[in-house]
Amino acid sequence: MSDDENKRWYTRVPAISIALVAFLVALTTLVNNVREIGGLKDKDKPSAAASPTPAAPAVKPAEPKAPSRYSVLLTLDKIEVLNDGSNGSTTWSFDISAGGQDLFQLPSRDYLDNEEGREVKPRTSDPSIGRVVLVPGQEMLIKISGRSAGLISKLSASGTATLVADRPLAPVRVLGGDGRDGEFIFHFSTVATPQ
């Protein structure tokens, strides 16, 4: 055997053929890489018979949760004295409760039903603020009980109203007997805070 026959087969292939094969391999690799980068792969192309993919449902933003309860601040603004229950001034004290629980008590003081004394504001030393907690839609009974412990006669008066968290409290009419033994209108302001 000659030396040319002992050489491996690829050593006998002309150098141009090897260069051509190397070029084709490089070109094929380059084309495949460009397809992958450009997203032009055949498997990524939608077929004409395939139905379009439904879009994912849009995520709804979270709706604000309704508060589970409200803290309501109840403040006595003024008392209108329509009838104090006697010819002169009359001493009255009042208890204010909400839902059967005491809120505050107005201590004894003289009330007059004349023009100068018809509108009475709480004194700075008087408790006149209470706080209650309500769930949405709940109604709470506000009750005012008054008593006058005069020397000759003892008078009493009462009145109620319904408190709801999202509405102001209506004025509360407090009557003694049929109004002859005292008649007052209590005006409150309310501030509801969600908790």
Confidence check: pLDDT of 50 > 60: no
In a domain, residue 51? The reply is: no
- Count other C-beta atoms under 10 Å from residue 7's C-beta: 10
Q: What pLDDT sits at residue 43?
A: 53
* Domains in the chain, number: 1
Q: Which residue has the higher pLDDT, 33 or 142?
A: 142
In a domain, residue 120? The reply is: yes
In a domain, residue 37? The reply is: no
Q: What pLDDT sits at residue 23?
A: 79
Over residues 114-165, the pLDDT tens digits come to 888 899 999 889 899 999 999 888 899 999 999 997 666 788 999 999 998 8
Residue 112: CATH number of its domain: 2.60.40.150
Question: Which residue segment(s) compose the domain that 153 sits in?
Answer: 70-194
